[in-house]
Chains A and B, each alone.
Chain A
Amino acid sequence: MSKEKEQNQETAISRRSFLKGVGTGAVAASVAPTVFIDAETAAAAQTGEEINRAKIKLNINAQTYEVEVEPRMTLLSVLRDGFDTSGNRLDLTGAKPICERGECGGCTVQVDGKAVYACMMLALDAQGKQITTVEGLANGDNLHPVQEAFIQHDALMCGFCTPGFVVAAKSFLDQNPSPSHEEIKEGLAGNICRCGTYPFIFEAVKTASRKLL
C-alpha cells in the first residue's frame, strides 16, 4: 500500500497508471513504451498541453481496433469498457476484473504469446503487440483443446475465473507441452478459483496436453 502512495505522489497520477505488466509466473520487463499517438495528440504534446486522450491501434484476436484511450487506462478496461473510434464498444468481456491489481489471474490474456494480467498492463503499452483474449482461442465453432478439456472435466463451476484459467492454461501448455502434475500447479499458481475447481482444472490440463501433443 505504501509503495502505491509513494508512486502516486511522485508522479501525481492515479493508481492504475503506475502498474506494470506482469505475466503469470514471470515478471515482464517494464520498458518504456513506444507510444504511437495520433497527430492531434502529438501536436498537443508539443505545446505542453496535458494529454488526456490518445488514439491508438490495438491488435486483438487478429483484428485491428482503433480506440481512443486515456493514458491511465489498462488493457483490461479497454477490452471491457472501451470504444473504437466509430463509437462501437469492444465488448470483449471474457477477461474478468476480479482484483484489478495482479493477484488473481482472472484477467489473463496473451500478449505476443505470453500470459499477461490485462489489469497490470496499460493499453498504451499494448500497442504493436498481438493480443489474444479468451474470445480469440476457438476457431469458429471448433474449441481449443484446452476449452474442450475444461468442459469435459467440469473444470468450472460459477465460471467467473474460467476465462483467465483457460488462457493461462493455454499459454502454459504452449511453453510446456507435457507437464507433470507439480508443473501444472506451479504454472497456474497465478490464478485463483473461489469455487475450488482446481482438481478438475489439473485433470483438464493433462487431457489437453495429451490432445495437443
Chain B
Amino acid sequence: MASWGEAKDSRLIGKRVSRLSGTDKVTGKAKYTFDINRPGMLYGYILRSPVAHATITGIDLSEAEALPGVKAAIPLIEPGKRVRFEGQEIAAVAAITPDIAEDAVRLIQFDYDELDYVVDVESAKEEGAPQIRDDWKSNQSEPRVDERGDIEAGFAEAAVEVEATYHAPVQTHVCLETHGHVAEWDQDNLTVWASTQAVFGTRQNLARHFELPENQVRVITEHMGGGFGSKFGPGVEGVTAAKLARKAGAPVKLMLTRKDEHLVAGNRPSMTQQVRAGATQDGRFIAYDMSGYGTGGIGSGAGFTGPYVYHVPNHRTKKSAVAINAGSARAMRAPGHPQGAFAMDSLMDELAERLNLDPLEFRRLNSDSDARRNRIRQAEYTLGAQEIGWHRRNRVPGSGTGVKKRGIGMGCGLWGGGGGAGTQARVTIHASGAVEAVTGTQDIGTGIRTVIAMIVAEELGLRPQDITVKIGDTEPGLASRGSGGSQTIGSVAPVIKTAAMAAKRKLFGHIAPLVEADPGDLRAAGDKIYAQSDLRLSIPWKEATGYLGMETISEGGEWDENLRIGDVAGVQFAEVEIDTETGLVQVIKIVAVQDCGLVVNRLTTESQINGAVVMGLGYALLEERIMDDQTGKMINPNLEDYKVPGTMEIPEIVSIAYDTDRKITGIGEPPTIPTAGAIANAVYNAIGVRIRELPITPDKILNALG
C-alpha cells in the first residue's frame, strides 16, 4: 500500500521549497491569459446593462460595426428579454485595439423599458416587491429546515439564553486578473487561453456550447491571477470571446474590466440571522435555534453554516435565499463558512459571558462531535492560546484605559478538502534522465506545480527543479478536476505519487539485471540509484536511465484514498487595537493554527495560511458591496471604494501549519474561516460593546461607543 512514509525519511516532503514558477513570475516572463498576444488578435469588449432591471426592446449594432477598426459585433440578448442586474450582457464587439473596441461599444444603440427593481434585501422580501426570478413564488426561496434533538426540551434545560441578530455583507472575489479568455479558431478547432480554475470543465462547457467533440477544443491556463471560487467555466464572456473570434475570423482577447469583475463575476452572499441559544449552568451548549437568509443576487445558494464546529444536541436551523437585482453569487473561498463562523463564534462568546466562563473554556467543553477533529482542535486551542498570550486579554471587556484599547478574541473553522478520484496523470522517465509529470490540473496560485515536482523528485531521488511539470492544458488528454473546495492536492497528489512509484519500479526492473541486483534492493536518492544491501553498487541517475536506450518509461497512477484526509480543524486568535477617538480597528496580531494533515511544502503552505487570514481580515473590517437604492447600481465597483486589505492593514501573522497526519489535505480555504469571528471577539474584548455586523468599520465602532 502506498504511503507517504515517515517524516524522518522525507528529504523533500514537509520542507520549504521555492515555487518552480518563481523566476517567471518575478521577471514578468510568466504569461497569464491577460498577457497572451496572438498574431492578428482583436480585442473584445462587452456592452452591459446600465440599469438594474429592464426589458430590452431593440439593439442596433450598425454604427458600431461601421467604426473603422471594428471587425465583429454581436448581440448577447434578444429583444423582449429582461436584464435583471446592472452589468448584464447586452452586446459585444471585437476591434483592432482595446480603445477602438471601447469606442465601438459606446456607439451601440439599444432601447429598453425600465422595470421596477429592488437591490435591498429587506425590501425584496416585502409583498409587492418586483419579482426577480420566474422560478420562485416570491423573492424568497422555500426555507430549508434542519432539526436535531428536541429544541424545546433544550431551552427548558438552559440556565442562560442569548438572543442576537448577526449580519455580514456581500463580499466580492476581486481576482486581480479579471475573468477572461483569448479564443482562436482553426477551422472547427477551438483553442482558448482561459483564466480559469478548471481547464477540463471549461473545455467541456465550450464544446457543448459550440456542439463540438471535446477533443476539438483545447483550453490552456499556464498561469492565472486568482479565482477564489469564481472561475469554473467560460461564463458569458468566454463564450462571447469564441463567438466574436469565429465571426471576425481572427483570435479575440476578451478580459473583463475591474468594474465588470465586481458586477458580474461572482460574490459571497450576504448573511442575516436571528439566533436564540441556551446553555446549562455547567457550561453545556444545549439549544440553538437559528433562522436566516442571504442574498446571492439573481442567483440562489446563499446558505451558511451553524451550529458549525460546536456540538449542540438540540438545534433547529431555517435558511433561505433572497433574490435581488444584482449579479449572481458564485462559490467564494469556503462558501457559507466565514459568514456562519463569524456569527457562531460571536454567539459562543456571548453565551460564555452570560455563564461567566472563559470563552476558550466554553469552547473546550462544546467542540466538535467528530473525535479526530475534537482531539486536534483541543491541541490547537492550547497552541494558539499560548502563542497569542490568551491570559493577557481583558477579564472585563473594555476595561483597558487610554484612547487606544486592546483586546483579544478567538474563532474556529472546519473544512472538507480531502479531494477525490478522477485525476489522470503520467510520470515519464526518458533515457536522457529527464523526467516529466503531466496532468490536467491547474495552478491557481496555490503552488500545486511545485508540490507535484516535490513528490516525483522525492520518489526518484532527484531535485524538484529536475522535474518538468506540465499542467494547465487539456491537450495531453489527462483529465483532472477543477481546483475548488481545497480539493486539488488531495485529488492530484495521490495519483502523482503512485505514478512516480510505478515509473520507478519499472526503471528498477529494467536496470536490475544489468547491474546484477535485485530490483527490490534498489533505491533512488541523491541523484543516484544504489543497492541497499551493497552501497558500493551505486550509479548516477543519468547513467541508470541511459540503460533505457531507445525506450521511455511512462506510467499512470491511481488515486489512493489512504494518502489523503479531509475534515480538518482550524483555530485562530486575534489581537486588535482600537482608537476610540477615530473608531479605527488595527489588527495587531493573528495566530492561525491550521490542521494541515501532512504538509508537503511548508513554505507555500504558510503562504496559503497568510493569504487566507488576510482575506478574512478584509471580510472582518473592510469589504462590502454597496448597492444604491436610488439607482439600483453598485456604488463601489473599483479598488478604491471597495476596500481590500493593503500593506497598512497587515498585522503580525503567525501561521502555524500544524502537521497532524501523514496524509495530505488542501488548505486554501480553511484558514480564511475563523478570522472574522476572532477579530469581532477581539473588538468586543477591547471596547466592551459588541458589533454584530460586518464589516467592523470606524462608524460602527463610534456609534457603539456612543
Residues on A lying within 8 angstroms of B by beta carbon are 14, 16, 70, 72-73, 77, 80-81, 89, 91-101, 103-104, 106, 133-135, 137-138, 143, 147, 150-152, 154, 156-163, 166, 184-186, 188-189, 191-202
Q: Do A143 and B26 form a contact, CB below 8 Å, given A156-B19, A157-B611?
A: yes
A192 & B28 in contact (Cβ 8 Å cutoff): no
Q: CB-CB < 8 A to B445: which residues of A?
A: 157-159, 195
A99 & B612 in contact (Cβ 8 Å cutoff): no
Q: Do A199 and B610 form a contact, CB below 8 Å, given A70-B99, A81-B98?
A: yes
Within 8 A of A (CB), among B195-217: none
Stretch at the interface among B122-130, B171-179, B695-703: B171-179
Name B607's contact: one of A133, A185, A197 (CB within 8 Å): A197
16 pairs from A and B in contact (CB 8 Å cutoff): A89-B37, A93-B31, A93-B35, A96-B176, A101-B638, A103-B639, A137-B27, A151-B19, A157-B607, A158-B223, A158-B444, A159-B25, A159-B30, A195-B611, A198-B610, A200-B607
A192 & B27 in contact (Cβ 8 Å cutoff): no
The answer to the question of B457 belonging to the interface, with a C-beta cut-off of 8 Å to chain A, is no
B648 & A157 in contact (Cβ 8 Å cutoff): no
Q: CB-CB < 8 A to B225: which residues of A?
A: 96, 158-160
Q: Do A150 and B26 form a contact, CB below 8 Å, given A161-B176, A198-B610?
A: yes
B25 & A192 in contact (Cβ 8 Å cutoff): no
A98 & B258 in contact (Cβ 8 Å cutoff): yes
A191 & B653 in contact (Cβ 8 Å cutoff): no
A157 & B99 in contact (Cβ 8 Å cutoff): no
CB-CB contacts of B601-617 with A at 8 A, as 1s and 0s? Answer: 00110111011111100
Within 8 A of A (CB), among B593-642: 603-604, 606-608, 610-615, 638-640
The answer to the question of B569 belonging to the interface, with a C-beta cut-off of 8 Å to chain A, is no
Min Cβ gap A180→B in Å is: 13
Min Cβ gap B330→A in Å is: 15
CA of A93 to CA of B645 in the docked complex: distance in angstroms?
Answer: 25
CA of A124 to CA of B648 in the docked complex: distance in angstroms?
Answer: 34
The answer to the question of B456 belonging to the interface, with a C-beta cut-off of 8 Å to chain A, is no
Q: CB-CB < 8 A to B19: which residues of A?
A: 151, 154, 156
The answer to the question of B191 belonging to the interface, with a C-beta cut-off of 8 Å to chain A, is no
Residue of A nearest to B173 (CB): A194
The answer to the question of B644 belonging to the interface, with a C-beta cut-off of 8 Å to chain A, is yes
The answer to the question of B525 belonging to the interface, with a C-beta cut-off of 8 Å to chain A, is no
Q: Do A196 and B223 form a contact, CB below 8 Å, given A100-B258, A186-B648?
A: no
Name B226's contact: one of A80, A89, A195, A201 (CB within 8 Å): A195
Q: Give chain A's interface secondary structure class.
A: loop
Q: CB-CB < 8 A to B160: which residues of A?
A: none
Min Cβ gap B653→A in Å is: 5
Q: Do A194 and B226 form a contact, CB below 8 Å, given A95-B28, A163-B28?
A: yes
Interface centre among A92, A99, A143, A196 (most CB of B within 10 A): A196
Name B176's contact: one of A93, A106, A189 (CB within 8 Å): A106
Interface centre among A99, A158, A166, A186 (most CB of B within 10 A): A158
Q: Do A93 and B28 form a contact, CB below 8 Å, given A104-B176, A192-B646, A196-B615?
A: yes
Q: Do A198 and B614 form a contact, CB below 8 Å, given A104-B639, A154-B603, A154-B604?
A: yes
A192 & B177 in contact (Cβ 8 Å cutoff): no
B650 & A198 in contact (Cβ 8 Å cutoff): yes
Inter-chain pairs besides A94-B28, A104-B176, A151-B26, 18 sampled, C-beta below 8 Å: A92-B28, A93-B32, A95-B28, A135-B28, A154-B19, A154-B22, A157-B446, A157-B604, A160-B225, A192-B644, A194-B174, A194-B175, A194-B226, A195-B226, A196-B612, A196-B615, A198-B647, A202-B647
CA of A118 to CA of B624 in the docked complex: distance in angstroms?
Answer: 28
Min Cβ gap A201→B in Å is: 8
Min Cβ gap B136→A in Å is: 33
Name A194's contact: one of B43, B603, B644, B652 (CB within 8 Å): B644
Q: CB-CB < 8 A to B97: which residues of A?
A: 70, 81
A157 & B176 in contact (Cβ 8 Å cutoff): no
A97 & B34 in contact (Cβ 8 Å cutoff): yes
The answer to the question of B312 belonging to the interface, with a C-beta cut-off of 8 Å to chain A, is no
B99 & A16 in contact (Cβ 8 Å cutoff): yes
Q: Do A151 and B258 form a contact, CB below 8 Å, given A99-B638, A157-B611?
A: no
Min Cβ gap B387→A in Å is: 15
CA of A197 to CA of B640 in the docked complex: distance in angstroms?
Answer: 20
A196 & B176 in contact (Cβ 8 Å cutoff): no
The answer to the question of B432 belonging to the interface, with a C-beta cut-off of 8 Å to chain A, is no
A189 & B226 in contact (Cβ 8 Å cutoff): no
Q: CB-CB < 8 A to B30: which residues of A?
A: 159
CA of A194 to CA of B258 in the docked complex: distance in angstroms?
Answer: 13
Min Cβ gap A81→B in Å is: 6
B610 & A94 in contact (Cβ 8 Å cutoff): no
CA of A19 to CA of B470 in the docked complex: distance in angstroms?
Answer: 42
A196 & B37 in contact (Cβ 8 Å cutoff): no
A191 & B638 in contact (Cβ 8 Å cutoff): no
Q: Which 5 residue pairs of A and B lie closest in terms of their CB atoms, listed nearest first? A: A94-B28, A196-B614, A160-B225, A158-B445, A196-B611
Min Cβ gap A93→B in Å is: 4
Residue of A nearest to B444 (CB): A158
B34 & A158 in contact (Cβ 8 Å cutoff): no
CA of A211 to CA of B197 in the docked complex: distance in angstroms?
Answer: 37
Residue of A nearest to B614 (CB): A196
Q: Do A94 and B223 form a contact, CB below 8 Å, given A103-B639, A152-B18, A186-B648?
A: no
A151 & B23 in contact (Cβ 8 Å cutoff): yes
B27 & A143 in contact (Cβ 8 Å cutoff): yes
Residue of B nearest to A153 (CB): B603
Q: CB-CB < 8 A to A195: which residues of B?
A: 176, 226, 445, 607, 611
Residue of A nearest to B654 (CB): A199
A143 & B23 in contact (Cβ 8 Å cutoff): yes
Min Cβ gap A122→B in Å is: 13
B610 & A159 in contact (Cβ 8 Å cutoff): no
Q: Do A133 and B28 form a contact, CB below 8 Å, given A154-B607, A196-B611, A197-B611?
A: yes
Q: Do A185 and B22 form a contact, CB below 8 Å, given A16-B99, A81-B98, A99-B638?
A: no
The answer to the question of B447 belonging to the interface, with a C-beta cut-off of 8 Å to chain A, is yes
Q: CB-CB < 8 A to B447: which residues of A?
A: 157
Residue of B nearest to A106 (CB): B176
Residue of A nearest to B601 (CB): A154
Q: CB-CB < 8 A to B103: which residues of A?
A: 14
